[in-house]
Amino acid sequence: MALKYTRPRGTQDVLPQDSWKWQYIEDVIRGTARGYGYGEMRLPTFESTDLFARGVGDGTDIVAKEMYTFEDKGGRSITLRPEGTAGVARAVLENGLLASSPLPLKSYYIQSCFRYEKAQKGRLREFHQFGIECFGTHEPVSDVETMLVARDVFKKLGVNDSITLEINSIGCPKCRPAYNQKLREYFESQREELCPTCKQRLEKNPMRILDCKEEKCQKIAAGAPVMLDYLCEDCTTHFEEVKNLLAEADAAYVINPRIVRGLDYYTNTVFEFIAEGVGTQGTVCAGGRYNGLIEQFGGQPTPAVGYGMGLERLLMLMEEQGKLPEEKQGPLLYAVGQSEAGRKAARLLVAGLRNAGFPAEYDLANRSVKAQMKAAGRLNAAYTVVLGDDEVSSGKAVLKNMETREESEIVLAEGASGFFSTVYGPNAASVGIIGTSGGYIAAQAKGLSKAEKLETGGNNG
């Protein structure tokens, strides 16, 4: 019988056997962002269409061709967010954060975004981004700190050596007009060779021709003037300091004069982290300084810098390089009920472990002991215990280590504390302080021994 419904093209289902990979990456991201002083923002999935037309640019492919836009029942034009920066900037202004919060204001987000693109490897129509935004400082050190957050995420996930940081400066409103004029003159001489889209760009914003993906346009752009040759003194000083600070932080980089942003509110530093093997484009993370955005949204002139990182591409890179942990999460204990009294004892023992912050399971389907043991194996349970009338009557049961097959005796009246004493011995006293499911799962993901898992406790870093 044919399925009536399938997922929309360009989307994916993240199933339980894979969601632990996402949780692992997200834990690293959240811990790194918090370490740098960034607070999390959670924003609406949809916003006014005009917000993205202004924030992303009504002449861009995203706005012109890729946005999911619809009219709601109130007659308002609404769009599913295609990126994160515009929504963050709106929230910052609407909630008065620039006046009420210490500056610089530093925030991060992990969210889904939507673009109607040709679905292919590394490019989905619903995708996920980690982004950070820093408002209220123009200093080069803030540019570099945003890059270091990304660099540290890549380091902790084991992929930094395969990713290259590329940087450029696109100047400011003071020095960019002269450069745009030179670009226009250069491309005008080869107008007939440009693709139709770039012919339009030539009139409106010639800098965007440098970012065209058409091969013939790329060949023409290779000989175009370079913005770095037209920077004013302030922009030159800013870029030099960015380079010095990256060197100070031992962050390797290359200068790529072809990295551009086509919107006027972008200024100074732009950057991308490039990796191989993640689809048609190797960009895993892209960002830059956007000093003009807040003013364009109706606020006071406010310098800002940030980026977006594609999580699907990052996950692909980790899988291709074998950087994901081998061990998947599973319950610390699966308590098997052999009788009605045994099932009650299993529920009580499992409740104790869960209250202590550790994952544990018991049977919900009234299955046989054999079937329950099979279920424990499929769930990758670390330990099992079979509880029947004899165990309940004696108050003792046999705890089995599913990895080593070793068996130990536990006292049921001691509940979770008795379990921890049996499993961890002298270290069991630490459980009440540092025993959390997050810490246990993180330790599992790192492939630690049972004792090491306990010692890591709630430290997800």
Split into its structural domains, the chain has a count of 2
Give DSSP secondary structure letters for 320-343.
HTT-S-SPPP--SEEEEE-SHHHH
Q: Report if residue 203 sits inside a domain.
A: no
Whether the predicted pLDDT of 437 surpasses 50: no
Domain check: are 276 and 352 in the same one? Answer: no
Q: What is the pLDDT of residues 146-203, one digit of tens each?
A: 999 999 999 999 999 999 999 999 999 999 999 999 999 999 999 999 999 899 888 8
Distance (Å, whole) CA 142 – CA 242: 9
pLDDT at 375: 97
Residue 38 DSSP one-character state: P
Q: What is the pLDDT of residues 297-322, one digit of tens each?
A: 999 999 999 999 999 999 999 999 99
Q: Report if residue 461 sits inside a domain.
A: no
% residues pLDDT > 70 (the chain): 90
Distance (Å, whole) CA 255 – CA 213: 20
Residue at a domain's end among 320, 354, 376: 320
Q: Can you read off the two tokens belonging to residue 171? A: 């100047």
pLDDT at 62: 74
Residue at a domain's end among 274, 291, 320: 320
User: How many residues are given for the chain?
Assistant: 461
Domain check: are 308 and 339 in the same one? Answer: no
Torsions phi, psi for 133 (to 5 deg): -135, 135
Q: What is the pLDDT confidence band of residue 428, given thresholds at 50, 70 and 90? A: low
Whether the predicted pLDDT of 129 surpasses 90: yes
Domain check: are 307 and 343 in the same one? Answer: no
Greater model confidence, 148 or 447 = 148
Residue at a domain's end among 258, 293, 320: 320
* Beta strands, E only, 85-208: 105-114, 126-135, 163-169
Distance (Å, whole) CA 201 – CA 260: 14
Task: State which residues form the domain around 282.
Answer: 16-175+231-320
Q: Can you read off the two tokens belonging to residue 352? A: 């104790």
pTM of the model: 0.85
Q: 3-class SS at 76?
A: coil
Domain check: are 169 and 284 in the same one? Answer: yes
Mean local confidence (pLDDT), 110-135: 92
Q: Report if residue 383 sits inside a domain.
A: yes
Which range is least confidently modeled, 14-18, 25-29, 71-75? 14-18
Domain check: are 241 and 374 in the same one? Answer: no
Distance (Å, whole) CA 272 – CA 154: 13
Q: Report if residue 193 sits inside a domain.
A: no
pLDDT at 328: 63
Domain check: are 373 and 438 in the same one? Answer: yes
pLDDT at 448: 39
Domain check: are 382 and 290 in the same one? Answer: no
CATH number at residue 371: 3.40.50.800
Whether the predicted pLDDT of 327 surpasses 90: no
Q: Report if residue 402 sits inside a domain.
A: yes
CATH number at residue 158: 3.30.930.10
Distance (Å, whole) CA 410 – CA 376: 19
Whether the predicted pLDDT of 444 surpasses 60: no
Q: Report if residue 248 sits inside a domain.
A: yes
pLDDT at 116: 93
Greater model confidence, 444 or 23 = 23
Q: Encode 57-73: b = buried (16+ Cβ within 10 Å), e = exposed.
A: bebbbbbeebbbbeeee
Q: Can you read off the two tokens belonging to residue 16? A: 């339980």
Domain check: are 300 and 363 in the same one? Answer: no
Q: What is the pLDDT of residues 107-119, one digit of tens each?
A: 999 999 999 988 7
Domain check: are 37 and 129 in the same one? Answer: yes
Q: Which residue do the tokens 């310098």 mark?
A: 303
What sign does the CA torsion over 383, 387, 391, 395 have? positive
pLDDT at 59: 61
Q: What is the pLDDT confidence band of residue 453, given thresholds at 50, 70 and 90? A: very low
Greater model confidence, 387 or 329 = 387
pLDDT at 440: 38
Domain check: are 287 and 420 in the same one? Answer: no
Domain check: are 237 and 355 in the same one? Answer: no
pLDDT at 123: 83
Domain check: are 339 and 305 in the same one? Answer: no
pLDDT at 212: 86
